[in-house]
Amino acid sequence: MTYLQRLVMNMLTFISLSVLLPQMIHVESIMTALVASFILSILNGFIRPILSILAFPLTLLTLGLFTFVVNAAMLQMTASVMGDSRFGFSSFGASILIAVVMSVINMIVTEHHLEKLTK
């Protein structure tokens, strides 16, 4: 999956979740969702590896479930950079739920994309 496809997928996920769960996630516009997706990709490239290394013991203890907390932290950082009035979450718990949903969507789309490539 290309970088642009991932950006668009995350943007569509943000927009869809803001429509389905308006009390948990706020996205001002489509352009805001695109910028948030771009900022999330930058943070995932630079900050997430550091957080993952620091969180490795907790990730082992929780059998990988702490990864969702790291993902939620990345979403919260994205909201901080964007500004809560344009892109934000109602709570950290909402961020964890959104992180779980985004992980499932990424897994489904990536698996479907790989199936398409092997045929």
Phi and psi angles of residue 87, each rounded to the nearest 5 degrees, phi first: -155, 120
65 burial via Cβ count (<10 Å: 0-12, 13-18, 19+): exposed
Mean pLDDT for the stretch of residues 17-22: 96
The whole-number pLDDT of residue 119 equals 67
Greatest CA separation found in the chain? 45
What is the pLDDT at residue 2?
Answer: 86
Is 73:51 a contact under the CB 8 Å cutoff?
yes
Section 48-63 average pLDDT: 96
pLDDT at 105 > cutoff 90? yes
Q: What is the mean pLDDT of residues 72-83?
A: 96
Write down the residue that tokens 């479907």 correspond to: 112
What are the b/e assignments for 91-110, b being 16+ CB within 10 Å?
Answer: eeebbbbbbebbeebeeebe
pLDDT band with cut points at 50, 70 and 90 for residue 110: confident
Q: Is the pLDDT of residue 84 over 90?
A: no
